[in-house]
Amino acid sequence: MRTQVGIIGAGPSGLLLSQLLHLQGIDSVVLERRTPGYVLGRIRAGVLEQGMVDLLNAAQAGERMNKEGLVHDGFEICFGDRRHRIDLKELTGGDTVMVYGQTEVTKDLMDAREALGGLVIYEAENVDIVDLDGETPKLTYRKDGVDHEIVCDYIAGCDGYHGISRRHIPENILKIHERVYPFGWLGVLSETRPASDELIYVNHWRGFALCSMRSTTRSRYYIQCAFDEDLEEWTDDRFWDELRARLPNSVAENMEIGPSIEKSIAPLRSFVAEPMRHGRLFLAGDAAHIVPPTGAKGLNLAASDIHYLSSALIGYYKQQRTDLMDGYSEKCLNRVWKAERFSWWMTTIMHRFPDQNSFDRGIQLAELDYLCGSQSAQASFAENYVGLPY
Ligand code: APR
Ligand code: PHB
């Protein structure tokens, strides 16, 4: 088989790229090692920046999001006995975020790909890249016991943190920057009315907590836990008790609880791989960088990468431009590092660190007190939360 752009991974990055290219008449094939059901079973973040919303609309995959997504003008930060609202709209001069789950984004992109007849090959085993140094790199894979090869002009590594693409950048070129945090997040999804109309981020001495949602009838909650916590030991009752112990009384007393429909533990990590391009291979999304979920930036960074990558490939195929491809890595990383900084900072001020001493706690509380008392600190916070420009 021959294609213009071979894409590894049918997460949000790979599907969005293939859809945007298709709409410009550029041919691609997506190879995914899992089944569609497995891909949709992964529950991840749910806050979309305006840039991502615009991109999904441009990809003709925004119809359901525009109907069912919840526009949020602000959220709350709680610490000690204080509750403070960050008014995103007011602080940014009109910007908001859209609460709409990554699972739904992925489903809409899958449907959009299918509607246009896009080729997405699921359950592709042993996906590999060969001849990356030549003019026509190839993707090889095995499906239903048969080996296949796709000859490509370019390859997009959209295969997430555990994918194979990044390994094709030679060790002497690839630089890895990493921080692993000494805790995880225990997340629960439940068919219950959200605790509040807006998200609530809580810094509590027992640990961080977050009240989020997927719709007006479905809630998503997180509590900070040990990174090696045993999920089996977290019954629903224990989870709800611990969550409520960390929330302001006014929220805890009135919230609806119910059986969990999903429960999982995620480690927290900051990770950047540079460069994001090697010859004809481009990395995008989680394949190149990870942020801790505190700032809700993971999916949004994947979207900005895909914006730059689709523009670069469209520039090449439509106008024979190579400058956008040449500038891809630098352009992405400039925005990535700023989101890394924001996510690291928000993680640092909101969590309880196991080795925290009274000085560290004092600094943390001063950060929060400063934030809640200063318009300019809040404006900077809001500017980052709604998303820096592309
Ligand atoms: N071959 C084929 N597919 C692969 C391989 C492989 N060797 N390795 C991984 N994949 C697939 C995974 O099964 C997954 O479906 O690549 C896809 C990568 O998707 P994501 O991990 O969702 O990454 P991305 O599309 O970049 O989306 C970024 O996901 O993790 C969140 O916070 C992150 O929200 C952000 C978003
Ligand atoms: C979520 O709804 O899953 C969510 C929201 C905000 C975050 C992280 C996760 O910062």
Is residue 84 classed exposed, middle or buried when 0-12, 13-18 and 19+ CB atoms within 10 A define those classes?
middle
Look-up: residue for tokens 């690839």?
174
- pLDDT tens string 93-129: 999 999 999 999 999 999 999 999 999 999 999 999 9
For β-strands 28-31 and 5-8, DSSP reports them as: parallel
Average the pLDDT over 225-242 and give the result: 97
> Which residues fall within 8 angstroms of residue 206, CB to CB, at 6 or more apart?
242, 245, 246, 352
> What spacing in Å lies between the alpha carbon of 227 and ligand 2's midpoint?
18
Residue 43, pLDDT > 90, answer no
Torsion (CA) 109, 115, 117, 123 in degrees, nearest 10:
50
Average the pLDDT over 35-50 and give the result: 93
Q: Is 74 in the pocket of ligand 2 (CB under 6 A)?
A: no
Residue 81, pLDDT > 90, answer no
Which residue's C-alpha comes closest to atom 21 of ligand 1? 160
Average the pLDDT over 120-145 and give the result: 97
Average the pLDDT over 37-64 and give the result: 95
Task: pLDDT band for 44, please (50, 70, 90 cuts).
Answer: confident
DSSP E strands in the chain: the ranges are 5-8, 28-31, 47-48, 70-72, 74-79, 82-87, 97-99, 119-121, 125-130, 138-143, 146-151, 154-157, 175-190, 200-203, 209-213, 219-225, 260-274, 277-278, 281-283, 289-290
pLDDT at 120: 98
What is the C-alpha separation between 379 and 390, in angstroms, rounded? 19
Q: Is 296 in the pocket of ligand 2 (CB under 6 A)?
A: yes
Which residues form ligand 1's pocket by a CB distance below 6 Å?
Answer: 8-14, 31-34, 39, 44-45, 102, 124, 127, 158-160, 162-164, 285-286, 298-299, 302
Are the CB atoms for 42 and 107 separated by under 8 Å? no
Kindly list the catalytic residues: 72, 201, 293, 297, 385
Ligand 2 atom nearest 45 alpha carbon = 3
- pLDDT tens string 193-212: 999 999 999 999 999 999 99
Ligand 2 atom nearest 214 alpha carbon = 2
Task: pLDDT band for 42, please (50, 70, 90 cuts).
Answer: confident
pLDDT at 80: 87
DSSP 3-state of 173: coil
Ligand 2 atom nearest 212 alpha carbon = 2
For the ranges 35-44, 280-289, 302-311, the lowest mean pLDDT is seen at 35-44
Task: pLDDT band for 331, please (50, 70, 90 cuts).
Answer: very high
Are the CB atoms for 190 and 219 separated by under 8 Å? yes
Which residue's C-alpha comes closest to atom 4 of ligand 2? 45
pLDDT at 276: 98
Average the pLDDT over 12-23 and give the result: 98
> What spacing in Å lies between the alpha carbon of 47 and ligand 2's midpoint?
6
> What spacing in Å lies between the alpha carbon of 338 and ligand 2's midpoint?
19
Look-up: residue for tokens 């309880």?
352
Average the pLDDT over 208-228 and give the result: 96
- pLDDT tens string 167-190: 999 999 999 999 999 999 999 999
> What spacing in Å lies between the alpha carbon of 220 and ligand 2's midpoint?
8
294 DSSP 8-state letter: G
Ligand 1 atom nearest 159 alpha carbon = 16
**Amino acid (1-letter code) at residue 18:** S
| Strand-by-strand arrangement of the 119-121 sheet | 119-121, 28-31, 5-8, 154-157, 281-283, 277-278
Residue 15, pLDDT > 90, answer yes
* Best of 13, 109, 148 for a ligand 1 pocket test (most atoms within 8 Å of beta carbon): 13
Residue 330, pLDDT > 90, answer yes
- pLDDT tens string 248-299: 999 999 999 999 999 999 999 999 999 999 999 999 999 999 999 999 999 9
What is the C-alpha separation between 218 and 203, in angstroms, rounded? 23
Ligand 1 atom nearest 31 alpha carbon = 2
Q: Is 12 in the pocket of ligand 2 (CB under 6 A)?
A: no
Q: Which ligand approaches the C-alpha of residue 9 most closely? A: 1
Is residue 32 classed exposed, middle or buried when 0-12, 13-18 and 19+ CB atoms within 10 A define those classes?
buried
What is the C-alpha separation between 261 and 70, in angstroms, rounded? 21
What is the C-alpha separation between 278 and 106, in angstroms, rounded? 27
Question: What is the percent of the chain with per-residue pLDDT over 70, rounded to a whole number?
Answer: 100
pLDDT at 325: 98
